[in-house]
Amino acid sequence: MKSVLSIAAIVSSLCGFSAIAFGEADKIFDEYVAALKDGQWEKAESYWVGEEITKSKLLGIEYIGYPAKYDCASPLTLHLDNIKSGLLSLDIDKPKIINDKATIDIRVYSQNDTIAYTYHAINTKSGWRLCSSLYAETRGWKVISKDYLRIHYADSSLLNNYAIDIANEFIESTGKTLGISAEKMKAIKRVGIDYYLANEQQIKSLTGFATKGMANFQYDAIITQYLPHPHEIVHLLINYDLQKLPLYTAPFIQEGLAVYLGGRWGKSAPAIFYFGEINLSLDMAKLSDMLTYSGFHGQIGSQDIAYAYAGLLSKYLIETYGMEKYKQLYRELSGSNSKIMAYSESDVKAQIETLYGVTWVDLEKGATDMARQYEYCGIKPVRRMEWDDPPIIDDSLFSIFLSITGNTYHFIIKGKKDLARGTILFKQRDIKIGKAYRSRLFAEQVQLMSYNGETYGIPFGPDEIGLYDYRTNTLLAKYVLGFSPSPDYWDQQNKTISFSLDKRLLDGEIPDYRLTVIPKK
């Protein structure tokens, strides 16, 4: 029974967060539960805010076995059959009412485990109605619509025009990659994807826990701390493409697709693949270690490894055998919670081998060989070179030299006093992000000044270096000396860092930017 209950914590991740409700003083929630138990789905919907029910159906996505999609993250609906049979028990607390909002706590439990959950409601002109925490908490937020997105926000410092455009471009390109028809893409644009942009405190209120962001499967929405959040957008778009599917999917294929197309949590896909290649080369874990539910979420040893491996395997399968076959595998590895939890490593391997007509050994070798292209990720150590051109930056702490060869920038950073630690800042001369925007990532990396429209940053030091886009708060390129040791990167005697950067990672050319260097505090 414990295994049955524990999946709900994961489903609140898959579905986004707790979709929540309470009702007419004490009565409306009891009546909602009764309607669910009786299978009276239309009646159950009547206890919710009508706008929420409409939103949950706009994109036409259905989850097999869960007619109450708007409440698909709740243990009440997830374990309804077991509650009806008496296998699980349900406790309902008295409502807590503050002004026109109410919450009601429930517990679904057995002898071995308990899942606590909170429902929300608001007092409308028609009386109390159940609603999601999104609806209850964001009614007063500002809304801006553009192309595919309807962005809800209360903190304007999180919003910037460039990131909105990038998010819409990503939706467009990912739709094509997945094979979504032009007509279906137009349908998304007509109804819009609700995108809730929240700060750290707000997102805890909306989701119930600390997170950088997640897809909400109840209302086909995104809740996140930053724009864009391509990983979560992929989760919605693949469900939209498949239209009718089970609620649960094997995590290695569900997350692998999202990593391959959208990276993860502020890291581009190549940056994640770089980390994955390092772990493969060090034999920290095998690709097969993340094929099962328990392997992906624990036995592999690290979620960072699991996501990186899943992304690499998905990349290999899609680029070698095509997206349509991958989507077939996605469907085949979707099902009930018990089915996904029960898959053994041999079960998954057999299913993959049958579909692709290739042994797992050959697939694993192919994916591992492909991963070697990510031995470096946009930044490489290079042997120190000398040239006659003056430094592009020369101050009391650093001299920075630059040369260009084809698609490569070659940098030398010389520290004049202490260890060479700091950040090279790139600022576009024509800023198009909006005056109110403040980069969260910039604030973490640069303590000696406030954000003022900087585009990129290269934090550097003797041990590692990276390229970050402050407009999207994304890691684009990375080199870690401890992972890929090279005598060419750091010259301790001369306090010199030497590296190359793929110039295609930057918008435009370096002369398009104002460069400054800020020492590390």
Q: What is the pLDDT of residue 418?
A: 74
Apex CA 161: angle with CA 156 and CA 164, to 5°? 95
The SS3 of residue 332 is helix
Low-confidence stretches of the chain (pLDDT < 50) are 1-23
Q: What is the pTM of this model?
A: 0.91
Other beta carbons less than 10 A from residue 445's beta carbon: 18
Query: What is d(CA 483, CA 412) in angstroms, rounded to the nearest whole number?
Result: 21
Lookup: tokens for 214: 């997640």
Q: Domains in the chain, start-ordered, CATH in brackets?
A: 13-131 (3.10.450), 140-232 (3.40.30.160), 246-375 (no CATH), 379-519 (no CATH)
Angle formed by the axes of helices 345-356 and 360-371, nearest 10°: 90
Give the closest residue to 317 by CA, choosing from 274, 350, 347, 355. Answer: 355
Residue 228: asked if its preceding bond is cis (omega within 30°), the reply is yes
pLDDT, tens digit, for every residue of 258-301?
999 999 989 999 999 999 999 999 999 999 999 999 999 988 87
Using a 10 angstrom Cβ sphere, with 0-12 exposed, 13-18 middle and 19 or more buried, the burial of residue 41 is exposed
Residue 300 near residue 285 (C-beta atoms within 8 A): yes
Q: What is the pLDDT of residue 7?
A: 37
Strands 490-491 and 422-428: unpaired
Q: Where are any strands of DSSP class E within 112-233?
A: 114-124, 127-131, 142-146, 149-153, 193-197, 213-216, 221-224
